[in-house]
Amino acid sequence: MKLLKCILTENDCYKTGRTIKPQGVMVHSTGANNANLRRYVQPAASTPGQEELLTALGTNLNANHWNRPGLDVCVHGFVGRLADGSVAAVQTLPWNRRGWHAGTGTSGKSANDTHISFEICEDSLTDPVYFQQAYRTAAELTAALCRNFGLDPMGDGVVICHQDGYRRGTASNHGDIYNWFPRFGLNMNDFRAEVARIMSGESEEDEMVYYKNLADVPEYYQHAVAKAVDRGALNGTGEGELNVSEDLCRTLTVLDRLGKLD
């Protein structure tokens, strides 16, 4: 996981200075078709390494990012695309700062008081390659946070999404991430299990299986992978090699069974 740091010091949430003792992680997705981190994250003039961050993030020419006053929302981090097209995470609040992300639930309580939060930048919700990259990065970020704060990702109410928070009475009624993950055959139970696997060392990148060409892909994945290639959704390295991971093959197979590749 590539993790940058660009604290949103101009956001009113940061300026309040309120802190929490993190008891969990809440996963959000942005609800807008824009996977670029620069849409939400920009360094202030006083941010350390401002020029390097702008080069990595790209410049938001519309100035509608979240590092400005007058907003009623702020999260601890984002997952999305850098200027070079790669997927990364960026920290935008100190992890123990009280964020503005959950709203108030039906119980009168708010996960703002208990949970670290981050947004996954949504795209069109149809790209399996971006989804797999963003999902993996989000799981790695969550695993790192759970390690840092001594949290059990499988514990009750520890790793949740915004909709989970609503169902538990600690967040407003937003649908994320159930508007996105199920399109690729996954849900928050799968996500929590992936976080736990990463923390246990069972899901390290260097252990992931990759297939160089379509002929190398196991037969039970080949049909779905070939469909993705034919439709231009899977282009490989651009140098004549597919270099597709087994995780992505599995995701494509689930999508094919759901009729999403037809």
| Domains in the chain, number | 2
Residue 157 confidence (pLDDT) above 60: yes
Asked if 138 and 120 touch (Cβ cutoff 8 Å), the reply is: yes
49 and 76 in a common domain: yes
Q: Tell me the pLDDT tens digit for each residue of 224-250.
A: 999 988 888 777 655 667 888 888 888
Percentage of residues of the chain with pLDDT beyond 90? 76
227 and 189 in a common domain: no
pLDDT tier, 257 (very low <50, low <70, confident <90, very high otherwise): confident
What is the per-residue pLDDT for 238? 58
227 and 175 in a common domain: no
Angle at alpha carbon of residue 17, lines to 161 and 107, rounded to 5° = 40
Q: Tell me the pLDDT tens digit for each residue of 101-138.
A: 999 999 999 999 999 999 999 999 999 989 999 999 99
191 and 216 in a common domain: no
What is the per-residue pLDDT for 207? 56
Cis peptide before 120 (omega within 30 of 0): no
* Pairwise CA distance, residues 128 & 227, whole Å: 12
The verdict on residue 262 lying in a domain is no
The verdict on residue 78 lying in a domain is yes
218 and 171 in a common domain: no
Angle at alpha carbon of residue 207, lines to 239 and 130, rounded to 5° = 50
Residues contacting residue 169 through CB under 8 Å, at least 6 positions apart = 105, 106, 107, 108, 109
129 and 49 in a common domain: yes
Q: Which of 1, 238, 248, 250 is nearest to 129 (CA)?
A: 248
- CB 254: neighbour CB atoms within 10 A? 16
150 and 26 in a common domain: yes
The verdict on residue 187 lying in a domain is yes
The verdict on residue 68 lying in a domain is yes
3 state SS for 59-85: CCCCCCCCCCCCCCCECCEEEEECCCC
- Answer with the one of 200, 227, 246 that is the final residue of a domain: 200
What is the per-residue pLDDT for 245? 83
Burial class (CB in 10 A: 0-12, 13-18, 19+), 148: exposed
Q: Tell me the pLDDT tens digit for each residue of 160-198.
A: 999 999 999 999 999 999 999 999 999 999 999 999 999
- Strand locations in the chain (E): 3-5, 24-29, 77-81, 87-91, 115-120, 159-161, 210-211, 244-245
- Answer with the one of 157, 173, 200 that is the final residue of a domain: 200
Amino acid 37 reads: L
Residue 57 confidence (pLDDT) above 80: yes
- Answer with the one of 200, 220, 242 that is the final residue of a domain: 200
71 and 34 in a common domain: yes
Looking at residue 54, which CATH number applies to its domain?
3.40.80.10
Domain enclosing residue 242, as ranges? 209-257
The verdict on residue 216 lying in a domain is yes
191 and 64 in a common domain: yes
Q: Tell me the pLDDT tens digit for each residue of 28-43.
A: 999 999 999 999 999 9
| Element at 199 (helix H, strand E) | helix 188-200
221 and 170 in a common domain: no
147 and 32 in a common domain: yes
243 and 154 in a common domain: no
The verdict on residue 80 lying in a domain is yes
Residues contacting residue 155 through CB under 8 Å, at least 6 positions apart = none
Q: DSSP for 109-128, please give it.
A: --GGGTEEEEEEPP-SS--H
pTM equals: 0.81
